[in-house]
Homo-oligomer: A and B are copies of this chain.
Amino acid sequence: MTPAKPLPSYLAQRYHGWRATTYDENKFWYRRLAEEGQRPRAMLIACCDSRVHVTNIFGADSGEMFIHRNIANLVPPYAPSGAHHGTSAAIEYAVTQLKVAHVIVMGHSDCGGVRGCLDMCGGHAAELEEETSFIGRWLDILRPGYARIDTGPENNNPAQSLEKEGVLISLENLMSFPCVRAAVERDELSLHGLWNDIGDGRLYAFHGDTEAFEAV
């Protein structure tokens, strides 16, 4: 038995508005996409956070971006185990089936997941350390980042440090996937790391040569 309810009316109303306008203006194209399948140019790995509006920032319309969103935009290390690995499956699909040209990991300011990891590693979040905490166990992916950042009093924004470090860890973990590494080495795929400041709207990209996030 599924206790599902009809769509909340505020969403039903917006959907009808969308269908009468955006859909109607583009229906020929959407039908072709339905018939011929997608050919997205990039995969984006972003946070579930409601304030991270990736299609808007990149003006991406239907068909342009393959988007995976999880807590804190994390990529776990390559570790096949026979269990369900949603993020790894999405990466495998994008790289081996869709053959995207870019994988972009995008972090952001004031990330609740990153703050949770900071609390947990600092010993202030016992509930996240329990084995049954899905959030805690997911944020374990970010633990190596905690060891790398400066958590002393002279760092006035350790959360931001960890947000950016998390992007780098995800990029490193991406390279642990054989399919990703092979595509990068064949020059068929490029990796990109971004950090978005939600309040001022700025975007920063990690530059491998300077080893720093620089304003786009």
What is the interface of chain A, defined by CB distance below 8 A to chain B? 1-43, 48-53, 55-71, 74, 76, 80-94, 97, 99, 101-102, 104, 109-110, 112-113, 131-135, 137-141, 168, 171-172, 175, 184, 187-194, 197-203, 205-208, 216
Q: A2-B171, A67-B50 are in contact. Are A21 and B20 (CB under 8 A)?
A: yes
Q: A26-B8, A36-B39, A93-B135 are in contact. Are A3 and B208 (CB under 8 A)?
A: yes
What's the least CB distance linking A14 to chain B, in Å? 4
User: What is the CA–CA distance of A59 and B102 in the complex, to the nearest angstrom?
Assistant: 18
Q: Are B102 and A28 in contact (CB under 8 A)?
A: yes
Q: Are B66 and A49 in contact (CB under 8 A)?
A: yes
Q: Are A17 and B21 in contact (CB under 8 A)?
A: yes
What's the least CB distance linking A144 to chain B, in Å? 13
Q: Are B18 and A48 in contact (CB under 8 A)?
A: no
What's the least CB distance linking A142 to chain B, in Å? 11
User: What is the CA–CA distance of A90 and B187 in the complex, to the nearest angstrom?
Assistant: 33
User: What is the CA–CA distance of A198 and B26 in the complex, to the nearest angstrom?
Assistant: 12
User: What is the CA–CA distance of A57 and B55 in the complex, to the nearest angstrom?
Assistant: 12
User: What is the CA–CA distance of A32 and B190 in the complex, to the nearest angstrom?
Assistant: 14
Q: Are B86 and A87 in contact (CB under 8 A)?
A: yes
Q: Are A51 and B25 in contact (CB under 8 A)?
A: no
Across the interface, which residues of B come within 8 angstroms of A29, CB to CB? 41, 101-102
Q: Are A51 and B31 in contact (CB under 8 A)?
A: no
Q: Are A9 and B25 in contact (CB under 8 A)?
A: yes
What's the least CB distance linking A3 to chain B, in Å? 6
User: What is the CA–CA distance of A140 and B68 in the complex, to the nearest angstrom?
Assistant: 19
Q: Are B55 and A171 in contact (CB under 8 A)?
A: no
CB < 8 Å neighbour of A198 from B4, B30, B56, B99: B30
Q: A32-B99, A55-B56, A93-B112 are in contact. Are A208 and B4 (CB under 8 A)?
A: yes
